[in-house]
Amino acid sequence: MVLEKIHKHRLIVFWAALVIGLFLRYFKLEETVFFDADQENFAWTAVRLLEEKRPVLIGLKAGEFPVFIGPLMYYVYALFFQLFSMDPAGLSYLSMIFAFLSIVSIFFISSRVFGNKAGLLSVFLYSFSFFFIDNDRRVWLPGPMIILSLWLFYFLWRVNNREQKKWLIILGMIFFLGFQLHITALFFFLIAIIGVLVKRIKVGWSSAVLGLGTAFLGIIPVIIFDLRHGFINFKGWQTLFVRAGEKVNYFSRFLNLVRYNLENEVRIFSLPINLTTKTVAGLIFLYWVVQSLRKGKNQKSLRLAWLWIIVPFLVFLPVNLHIPEYYLILTFPILLIVTSTLIINLSQRLKLVRLIAPIALLTFLVVNLRMTLGQEIDKAIFLHYKKQAVDYVIKEAESKDFSVFYEMDRGYNYGYDYLFYWKLGKIPEKSQEPDFIIVVPWNYKGLSLTERFGGVGVIKK
């Protein structure tokens, strides 16, 4: 196999994958930055922290879930707003830092847990996958969950009786950080508890208190917020599982979660999601089950990795809300390194796989490079084009007061208020008979566009 031939130069291969992977993420970086609801929320919170000097005790609302996460990332984002003179494009460089940490973590952890060959294949797939490239460019809270999910797996793999205090404190710290990123960090808590039990770790009282106490630190600001605001979060948690007159279709929810996992397996390779690719993904999961039942060092790790699939099933089945597929983002890195391990395993057992693998990997590389380098953005609604639209309106207004109207359909009005505030120090007046209309799609009540910037249109009346 190709990986066997380059095994002796694995560090050179890793550095090449790291450098090229970062370049692919940096390519068109500012042109592909989203600035929608969450990102504008980060911007206004930075204004509150830096200009109004008002502290924040609570993070983002967790999508459709009526609960909030911790506030730490607001302070991190505010730091980058300050470093880049309140330009929201500065957040894209924070995403590059997370991308660097993701690639390094993938290589280190997969190599340590499953061997150097699995590490090489994992970092190759992660560095060049358009899906992961696109994910790493995004300025959003679920992104860094990939890093924490990986390290939770690694430290849970390392935990033992002899040094349990150290490892349990580290696991608690991962939950503490995860709760500042996304609501699905609650899975970390269950995964860690079940993982410790499965590994038959005899946890002492002092170790348990230290681990749980460290984890609890991340929730303290939210508790303080709740005490001051009528227990908003506590009441929100109550509605997740108990809603009068509503029943959960468990079978339908189960099938959806199965579908999500199969599609996530396909997304690793940036393949089209159809019946064929989902069938192949199902065969990979089946082979994972078979290998997990065998005896051996890697097999124990494969069994541990199943917790990343099983725990979300247990938690999401009874929940009475729509579950977005990206809520399983914590499974992505585990699926990646497990899939790499299974491919290596198959190549060692079957000559046919050894023959096909180089061709498949080369095809993967070519297809994903074309998707990344040839990405069309001329009709997109990224920050790059929103800035151009705002600059055009300000220039055409010629320092006079003006009114605006934003197209509201499907959330296309996000970001402009902050961009006007950043440029002018104030938000323009809203009006149904405005001087300027910023519109997506590119028409409004039959009016023709005055200017178009990517997917953003401006109408000057």
Closest by Cα among 121, 187, 184, 192 to 157? 192
Identify the domain containing residue 175 by its residue range: 1-375
Q: Do residues 284 and 342 lie in contact, with contact meaning Cβ atoms separated by under 8 Å?
A: yes
The tally of domains found in the chain comes to 2
> What pairs with residue 404 in β-bridges?
430, 436
Task: Say if residue 269 is in the same domain as residue 357.
Answer: yes
Tell me what pLDDT residue 205 has: 87
Task: Say if residue 211 is in the same domain as residue 351.
Answer: yes
Task: Say if residue 432 is in the same domain as residue 318.
Answer: no
Please provide residue 222's backbone torsions phi and psi, each rounded to the nearest 5 degrees.
-70, -35
Burial classification of residue 112, based on how many CB atoms lie within 10 Å of its CB (0-12 exposed, 13-18 middle, 19 or more buried): middle
Tell me what pLDDT residue 245 has: 47
Contacts of 195 (CB under 8 A, 6+ apart): 156, 159, 304, 307
10-residue mean pLDDT profile of the chain (461 residues): values are 60 89 90 88 94 90 77 94 94 92 96 92 95 88 90 94 88 92 88 90 87 89 86 74 61 88 92 93 95 85 95 83 82 95 88 84 92 84 92 92 82 87 93 87 79 90 83
- AA identity, residue 430: K
Tell me what pLDDT residue 392 has: 95
Is residue 245 left, alpha or beta, with left meaning phi > 0 and alpha meaning psi from -120 to 50?
left
Where does a domain end: 330, 347, 375? Answer: 375
Task: Say if residue 343 is in the same domain as residue 409.
Answer: no
Task: Say if residue 323 is in the same domain as residue 430.
Answer: no
Where does a domain end: 330, 357, 375? Answer: 375
**What predicted TM-score, i.e. pTM, was given to this entire model?**
0.91
Please provide residue 255's backbone torsions phi and psi, each rounded to the nearest 5 degrees.
-65, -40
Task: Supply 87's token pair.
Answer: 């330009």
Task: Say if residue 2 is in the same domain as residue 108.
Answer: yes
Task: Say if residue 359 is in the same domain as residue 388.
Answer: no
Tell me what pLDDT residue 141 has: 80
Where does a domain end: 349, 375, 401? Answer: 375
Please provide residue 402's backbone torsions phi and psi, each rounded to the nearest 5 degrees.
-145, 160
Task: Say if residue 194 is in the same domain as residue 177.
Answer: yes
Task: Say if residue 188 is in the same domain as residue 300.
Answer: yes
Tokens 């709740």 found at: 226
Task: Supply 362's token pair.
Answer: 């080369």
Task: Say if residue 159 is in the same domain as residue 188.
Answer: yes
Task: Say if residue 393 is in the same domain as residue 438.
Answer: yes
Task: Say if residue 153 is in the same domain as residue 235.
Answer: yes
